[in-house]
Amino acid sequence: MPRAASTLWLVPAPSRGEAVRKRGGHHLVRVAEVAAAWLVGQGIDAAVAPALRFSRGARDSVGLTPGSRAANLARHLVIDPRGTPPARAPVVVLDDIVTTGATAAACARVLEAAGHPVLLVLACAATV
């Protein structure tokens, strides 16, 4: 079990349920798990904390204006108490791509409001 004081907590940006079902799972959780395992192999205490989720009614961000994306996230991005790291634990947010920055900003805002300092946001993208 990771120790709160020394653990680097990786928080994947959430996906809507429909996207998770289409992809056969939450792709950023898988990325976070691989990253945490690599960090542990390097001697860095790391763990995944799926601390964010969307409430019902969240819209797909494709096609939304930057303002609409931000408003959608402000209404529907919430803390998932089942996946939060220990109180006041610093976190690193993982996102798959930064388009307008709305998701990264909203994730950081929600986590900070819940008492988790955000050290940084990493965009993890790959082409195949």
Distances in whole angstroms, Cα of residue 86 to Cα of each of 20, 28, 52, 67: 26, 21, 14, 32
Q: What is the pLDDT of residue 102?
A: 77
> Residue 68 domain-assigned?
yes
> Residue 49 domain-assigned?
yes
> Residue 4 domain-assigned?
no
> Residue 2 domain-assigned?
no
> Residue 3 domain-assigned?
no
Distances in whole angstroms, Cα of residue 21 to Cα of each of 17, 27, 55, 70: 6, 10, 16, 24
> Residue 41 domain-assigned?
yes
On whether the pTM is more than 0.95, the answer is no
> Residue 117 domain-assigned?
yes
pLDDT in tens, 35-60: 999 999 999 999 999 999 887 766 66
Residue 73 domain boundaries? 9-123
Number of compact structural domains in the chain: 1
Report whether pLDDT(61) > 80: no
